[in-house]
Amino acid sequence: MVDRTKNGKRPHKENLYQLFAQVAGALANPHRLELIDLLVQAPRTVEELAREACMSVANTSQHLQRLKQARLVSAEREGLHVRYRLADPAVGHLWLALRSMAEQQLAEVEQALDAYRHRRHEFEQISAGELLVRLDKGEAILLDARPAVEYHSGHLPGAISLPVDEVARRLDELPPDRLIVAYCRGPYCVYADEALALLAGAGRQVRRLEEGVAEWQAAGYQLA
């Protein structure tokens, strides 16, 4: 057997794995994963990310620097602020793949999701295919329950921006005789559930689309 430790290539191989570990290490933190999830939705400043993730600006900045060192996010200065975005769409695909693996291997994911989205079984779901048919026939209205900044960064075709905290005062804008479908950041987001609870309480016919913009694109559909 050839002793490959003496041919001088071993250090280069180890360096390759060290670089792979750099990316994995940058992702190996729940706060940094949440920042990635937020940046999938829209580019944001450090201050905006800190507010959404319920962290201090200083702590958020440190996590973003770690992600930037691994080339997972990029940053550009806008006056007094620094705006971050995903360095490449592949980062979003990596996040979806990681999440999918955790769902498959860890039963605790489903339990944690039930605890977080405690109303998720109250609303009938609708598939992307059925939604498109109903929208085309004018039988449904699609609501984007995310913050407006995320809607303007990219949304599902035909969707109306109706952030969850505006639903109660804008009910009269929605036709009472059509199916109302709501979506948000995907299956790990409660905004659509909260919006649907308000709408169902007002007597509207509702359904939940589990997919968000990342899942929609991963399935081969285009964003508006």
Pairing of strands 140-144, 160-161: parallel
Q: Which of 167, 184, 197, 199 is catalytic?
A: 184
Specify whether 184 is catalytic.
Answer: yes
Residue 212's closest CA among 170, 135, 163, 154? 154
Question: Could you give the residue numbers annotated as active site?
Answer: 184
